[in-house]
Structure 1
Amino acid sequence: MSEAEAKAESVGTVVVAGAANLAIAVAKLVAGLISGSAAMLSEAAHSLADTTTEVLLYLALRRGARPADRRHPFGYGKESYVWAFLAALFTFVVGAGFAITHGVTTILVHEHTGNYRASYLVLAISFVIESVSLARAIRQVRRESRRWRSSPHRYLRLTPDTTVKAVFLEDSAALVGLLIAGVGLGLSELTADELYDGIASILIGVLLLVVAGILARSNISLLVGRAVSDRVHRRIEEELEALPEVDRVDTLMTMLLGPEDILVAAKVDFCDDATAADIEAAADEAERRLTEHYPEIAYVFLDPTRSMRGPEGHRARPTQDENQRPVDEPAGGGS
């Protein structure tokens, strides 16, 4: 699958999820007002938050895909992470805040009207619709993981395409939330005690907090300037060192400029007998090899250098400190 097709699929996934969430939000709101269920109203807020999130993710895809210009020579890819972060923040404040607050209020003072039939019907229909949306997201995750030669789990954990991650996590959380709401409604109806409905509402809020926290953390890391994964880093280093004109790679740095753009910058110690023409040819060959393996690599900068070796013959400035690996392994497809 080409980059253009991948971007189009991401847009389609977001649009489908957004349309589904909007329809579900209206149905849950009506059912919640009829039944007076805190869990149903929390689920309505959940779907409303998801719908707003999809709108922000759509903006992220569109604005992040704008071409580079003079003021932004590396493009607008990182802007997609700004909108995705705002989407996570909205889920955190609106969705989770309403669900937890309303759940606590229900436990303390609220009583149900006792009409649960509409709520059960909406929950069942919502589960089917959310399952369809999640199935589409899963198909995209599997397809993209094959493109990066990675497992779906690893791809989902490391992917810089936060729109795919957001849709997958939100749809998964939506299904879990529906189950929680159903159990809460059922227990409240059987016991005639709104305590269980209120607890269900609070649990839905906690679920939203977890999802929002994961997405916010991922987007902050990408905004700061995250590198590619360790395996991709090593593959890039191996490709550079395989060039006959290269003695060693002194320093290698990478950065994810957006969901589909990678920057590679390296200090390279070329062989002593390499001429200026040899270095130019090697730089062209390096870019060809890297982009052949990873079409997402948009920029390759090589800085010829003659660095001093360390006391034991190792590189004076290692490309990565193996003893200080980050806890959250950098993204970049994971291959």
Structure 2
Amino acid sequence: MGGKSGESLATVLVAGAANLAIALAKLVAGLIGGSAAMLSESAHSAADTVTELLLLVAVRRSGRPADRRHPFGHGKAGFVWATMAAVATLVGGAGFSVTHGLHELSHGEELANLTPSYVVLAVAFVMESLSFAKGYTQLRRQAAGLGIAPVRLVRLTSDTALKAVLFEDAAALIGLLIAGAGLAGSQLTGSAVWDGAASVAIGVLLLVVALVLIRSNLSLLIGRAAPQQVETGIRAVLVAQREVEDVVELLTMMIGPGDILVAAKIDFRDEATAAGVETACDELDRRLREAFPGITQVFLHPTQGGPVR
């Protein structure tokens, strides 16, 4: 947990520093050029900065050790704060961008000097690309450890900080391209409609990202199972134990960013003694944790074979 949370913390810090600097630069450029798309991008980056602050809290809170009142740890606190971060993106970024874009579409404000806006967009694209690259490198490393594709892992991961950074950086890169297209369209046609439409499009993009993250975090709060490939691997470890006849029931749950709880009803062979079953359970606990470092809780229940009632 310590290594994963530390890496996620570094990823969040890089993204937060980049977003804060970019938000200020976009704000200045937007005020100089009078561009709704640039001001929307500034709101986008400002919302992302708030999001990173909330994600920092999520990483810190989820990493707190277990105590008497929270015997399974504080991992799910990370899901709560990550949900709040997604709501901040929804309200701060998407809400401002859509309303400001609609205002420009209806009033047709004239644009001024757009050169600073193009410079800021180019610099912001480089900075956001570096932040995205760091997050994607972490994603690839985790995916390689689990033996699954990075694209699949980003959909299933319980590392909410990493997922939020990746989604928001990807949305930022797309938003920068939309803003650039809006500025170019308005400059070429002399109409502010393109700039206003770009602002609305950026807002819709942020809306989609926020809703996807909220949905994912709520699923984790409810108690989502580990990825199917991980469950398959867990079952393989259990049935490979010589004392095990069959795995009658296997349940898993993500109890924190990267942390997995495993509960299984196991039918042990009839010839296994009570002492043998105890030894086998201890061995299975050790082997599961070695095979899947994310497993933090293991509960094995000896039972008779047959269908679960």
TM-score by length of 1: 0.89
Deviations 1:173-230 (A, max 9, x none): 1111111101101111111111101100010001101111111111111110011111
SS of 2:75 mapped into structure 1: coil
Deviations 1:275-297 (A, max 9, x none): 21111001001111111100111
Q: Which residue of 1 aligns with 2:71?
A: 73
List runs of 5+ in structure 1 lacking aligned partners. 310-315, 319-335
**Alpha-carbon distance in structure 2 between the residues aligned to 1:204 and 1:246:** 55
| Contact 2:24 2:42 (8 Å CA) reproduced | yes
Deviation at 1:108, TM superposition (A): 0.2
Which stretch shows the higher mean deviation, 56-65 or 262-271? 262-271
**2:296 is aligned with what amino acid?**
A
Q: Which residue of 1 aligns with 2:210?
A: 212
Q: Which residue of 2 aligns with 1:199?
A: 197
Q: Which residue of 1 aligns with 2:29?
A: 31
**1:256 is aligned with what amino acid?**
M
Q: Which residue of 1 aligns with 2:308?
A: 317
Deviation at 1:6, TM superposition (A): 2.8
**1:208 is aligned with what amino acid?**
L
| Contact 2:157 2:258 (8 Å CA) reproduced | no
Deviation at 1:239, TM superposition (A): 1.6
List runs of 5+ in structure 2 lacking aligned partners. none
After TM superposition, the runs of 4+ consecutive aligned structure 1 residues lying more than 4 A away are none
SS of 2:225 mapped into structure 1: coil
Deviation at 1:28, TM superposition (A): 0.7
**2:64 is aligned with what amino acid?**
R
Q: Which residue of 2 aligns with 1:161?
A: 159
| Contact 2:105 2:193 (8 Å CA) reproduced | yes
**Alpha-carbon distance in structure 1 between the residues aligned to 2:141 and 2:53:** 24
SS of 1:63 mapped into structure 2: helix
| Contact 1:114 1:189 (8 Å CA) reproduced | no
**Alpha-carbon distance in structure 2 between the residues aligned to 1:245 and 1:118:** 71
Q: Which residue of 2 aligns with 1:323?
A: none
Q: Which residue of 1 aligns with 2:45?
A: 47
Deviation at 1:168, TM superposition (A): 1.0
Which stretch shows the higher mean deviation, 145-154 or 97-106? 145-154
**Alpha-carbon distance in structure 1 between the residues aligned to 2:2 and 2:48:** 25
Identical positions, percent: 57
**2:176 is aligned with what amino acid?**
L
**1:187 is aligned with what amino acid?**
G
**Alpha-carbon distance in structure 2 between the residues aligned to 1:233 and 1:251:** 11
**Alpha-carbon distance in structure 1 between the residues aligned to 2:251 and 2:38:** 49
SS of 1:244 mapped into structure 2: coil
| Contact 1:38 1:197 (8 Å CA) reproduced | yes
SS of 1:226 mapped into structure 2: coil
Q: Which residue of 2 aligns with 1:298?
A: 296
**1:317 is aligned with what amino acid?**
V
SS of 1:78 mapped into structure 2: helix
Q: Cα RMSD over matched residues?
A: 1.3
| Contact 1:29 1:41 (8 Å CA) reproduced | yes
Q: Does 1:147 align with 2:138?
A: no
Q: Which has the higher helix share?
A: 2
Q: Count residues in correspondence.
A: 309
| Contact 2:108 2:191 (8 Å CA) reproduced | no
| Contact 1:248 1:269 (8 Å CA) reproduced | yes
Q: State how 1:1-335 maps to structure 2 within 5 Å.
A: 3-307=1-305, 309=306, 316-317=307-308
